[in-house]
Structure 1
Amino acid sequence: MTIPEGEIPPRREPVFKAPWPSMTLVGALLGAYALQVFVLGEAAYQAFGFSPAGLETGGWPGLFTALFVHGNLAHVLMNTAGALAFGAPVARLLGVRGLGPVVFFAFFLVCGALANYGFARLHPGADVLLVGASGSVFGLIGAATRILAGRGGLAPVFAPRVLAMTAAWIGLNLVVGLLGASPGLDAGQAVAWEAHVFGFLAGLLLIGPAVWIARRGQGARA
């Protein structure tokens, strides 16, 4: 059958355009939460959460493992939504082949660990428990800030638009810190807004080296 010129139906766009590394990250966060709820239960918090007090006694693995433990369903859904929305442009920039995905996942982990570590340095020895991937998600937000300002590329850290968006994100976290509440947390839980700020700054600064490593890997592969 032939179709007259001008009557060719438009090509259907895929429903999901997110690159596979960001989708895989979402699946990992949701899968870890399912394991927490249906297998580990309340023991997951003490076993895998992060505590500044624990860091002083060798509990450094919690810097990473706490990223995959969440307070409730709303908490994990908020973080997965953020990981998908802001992780997609980061994954595209790093590339979906070669070293790109490896660098993407490492970037997520490092930003989250630095966010938790920054909180611990501000609150040394504090007997509180941090859980959730929000520090990592804010790392993705920091990276995406430079990507959006660069219109798909990487804008300089001190570009006016980057500075304006940075001020807005940090200001938002200061407001959240003053209010001390979040719709994604239950009563008795608080937002570690300081970790968000550290994660954001880590992502803002580390996305440059991450892109360099990813592209160097692609060049070696070629």
Structure 2
Amino acid sequence: MRQNPSFTLASDDGVKRLVREHPWMTIVSMTDASGLVASHYPVLLDETADGIALLTHVGRPDEIVHELGRHEVMIIAQGPHGYISPGWYDAKPAVPTWNFVSAHLYGTPELLSDAENLRVLEALVDHFEDLMPEPRRMRGTAENAEYADRIAAGTVGLRIPITRYVAKNKMSQNRPVETVERIIAELDGDGPYASAALAAEMRRTHEAMRAARA
């Protein structure tokens, strides 16, 4: 991912927030047998790690297809993104752009034991079910626990310690304040490119910039 100093996201905390808030990710491997391989899975942070480490699982036989544990993989995290029209700027000549926040994280997966995999699967289910009015836990009943154990046998748990990453947060940091405010207003509106999530991300970025300058 090409970097630009104005948009570089070099903060572990910023990357962790991206992972926490947008846990659906793409795992990319360069394999000996098949070349490039990509799969998509939900990912959680290992909150006990000193640095950044990810917890996830893959369905069999993805662990073989990706040759997991044999080489480094890239995990792509993607946050809010959207089209920015030049009509939202001023009267000067301009071209459209795309605002986004994303990270490419690199590490070699560690394959987990069956017991560890089960704990990761339970954590994933709890993470998403916690928001439900009546959460359905993976092992909430004896019947469900028996079913979950059978399904878990078809998965492989992973822990991926992240050794390096490249992250970018492009939120119109190079635009004047009045232009940023117009962009946010358009994103908060009801037009064809409205995006409340992207507007909120822009606000957060620019509020942090103002606080840093204060």
- Shared fold by TM > 0.5? no
* TM-score where L is the length of structure 2: 0.26
More strand by share: 2
**TM-score w.r.t. length of structure 1:** 0.26
Q: Which has the higher helix share?
A: 1
